Amino acid sequence: MRFCVRYTRSNISSCFTIFNYCAHNNRLHLPLTRSVSQFCQQIFFRPALSQPAYLDSSHYYSVFNALPSHYVIDVRSDTLSLPTSEMRQAMFAATLGDDIYREDPNVLKLEQKAAELFEKDAGLFVPSGTMSNLLAIMAHCPQRGAEAIVGDLSHTFLYEQGSAAQIAGVQLATIQNKTDGTFCLEEMQRKIRPYDDSLQPVTSLVVVENTHNMCGGKALPLQWLDELAAICKTKENTNGKNIALHMDGARVFNAAEHLNESVARITREFDSVSYSVSKALLAPVGSMLVGSETFIAEARRLRLALGGSMHQCGILAAAGLLALEKFEPLLKEDHRRTKRIAEAVVSTLASTHTLCIESSVSVFT
């Protein structure tokens, strides 16, 4: 059994019914037990389904869409979060311009806001986190045949269709992720290629994910991040530059909440950072990429080649601005409720699983 919760406020429709996917018979069972149902009533004040429902997973979407919204919420992923009515109104009322000409006021505001939050020189609005990570790889590794070091459970390696190799001509070298989302720095140093060996690819970049999704939403420790940066600053590639550092920070605001630090402090030593304005921040579309002026200028140029440049995209940027202003401060409540739900599941199942919930993700195996 693998049970996963990724909690956001907009998932809640007054009730929570936990679902359990059983891999051996390809069935879904809701709810798990009466005590979990009672727990849900205490939080959301509506009864869960009175009778267990068995759903063939091949019909998952159609069946769940047919259920009343006040019975079931879908906690497969925080990507399922929906914009609030206030956010939709901001999108409707947005003043628009053409972002290709750098004339959309909301895009300009969002990019400036992102740069200020992370204390970087500039920002770039892109359609997705996958594209923002690919842009970072392409900008940091302009030479085809370069290599980037990533964790073996990272989103960049597992879930971006090998785009680094497929599109950018960059090889990914993996290191085994530890349960806390980090990896062995000594092993990383051994993986850095000697830049004067013409037989080997050039190690140009290290990518980390924070919080780490496949490691249960873990926030990477600040000390580890600082040690990683110190190593990369002492290593050079063939251009005489230090090995670059990129953070896939799709959920970096969750990390900041858990660590009680600013996103600027967490990403201080990184050359570039991407983060999602959707997911926990509730905007419908978009990710931000921040870094130096030179880096963002190159990423902006590459964005056009990938089909990511949009004209009147201020309608999306308006939601992203509101996400930062109104909903980023509420992540603490997301974390608190995720922990309560996880505690109820563990208690109900009489599990020996030790809870270590650091953000809005909990995984039981």
Domain boundaries, the chain: 3-81+333-364, 86-326
Tell me, rounded to whole angstroms, the distance of Cα 330 from its chain centroid.
17
The pTM of the whole model exceeds 0.75: yes
Distance CA 265, CA 80 (A): 29
Assigned token pair, 155:
């989103």
Listed range (59-73, 98-112, 219-233, 333-347) with the worst mean pLDDT: 59-73
Report the alpha-carbon distance of residue 32 to residue 328 in Å, rounded.
32
**293-305 vs 129-140: helix axis angle to the nearest 10?**
120
8 A C-beta contact, residue 149 and residue 192:
yes
* Three state DSSP letters for 184-223: CHHHHHHHCCCCCCCCCCEEEEEEEECCEHHHCCECCCHH
Q: Count H helices and E strands in the chain, helices first.
A: 14, 12
Give the number of other Cβ atoms within 10 Å of residue 56's Cβ.
11
* Of the candidates 248, 267, 240, 238, the residue with the CA atom closest to the CA atom of residue 147: 238
Which of these, 281, 337, 325, 304, lies nearest to 102 by C-alpha position? Answer: 304
In the structure, what pLDDT confidence band is assigned to residue 75 with cuts at 50, 70 and 90?
confident
Q: Report the residue count for the chain.
A: 365
In angstroms, what is the C-alpha Rg of the chain?
Answer: 21
Cite the beta strand spans of the chain per DSSP E.
3-6, 20-22, 27-30, 53-56, 122-126, 146-151, 171-175, 202-209, 244-248, 272-276, 287-291, 361-364
Q: Residue 289 — pLDDT band, cuts 50, 70, 90?
A: very high
| Contact predicate 229/210, CB 8 Å | no
Q: Mean pLDDT over residues 187-214, rounded? A: 92
Q: Above 50 in pLDDT, residue 51?
A: no
Lookup: tokens for 72: 């079931």
Give the model's pLDDT for residue 52. Answer: 35
Whether residue 354 is predicted with pLDDT greater than 80 in this model: the reply is: no
Query: Looking at the predicted structure, is the pLDDT value of residue 305 above 80?
Result: yes
Show the DSSP H helices in 45-184 as ranges.
60-66, 85-92, 105-118, 129-140, 155-158, 163-166
Residue 316 has pLDDT above 70, yes or no: yes
359 SS3 class? coil
**How far, in Å, CA of 107 to CA of 125, rounded?**
7
CA distance 210 to 136: 16
Tell me the mean pLDDT in the region 193-213: 92
pLDDT at 58 over 70: no
pLDDT at 226: 97
Which run of H or of E encompasses 233? helix 222-233
Q: Name the phi and psi angles at 113, rounded to 5.
A: -60, -45
**Model confidence at 15: pLDDT above 70:** no
Quote the pLDDT of residue 261. Answer: 95
- Write down the CATH number for the domain with range 86-326: 3.40.640.10
In angstroms, rounded to a whole number, what is the distance separating the alpha carbons of residues 242 and 259? 28
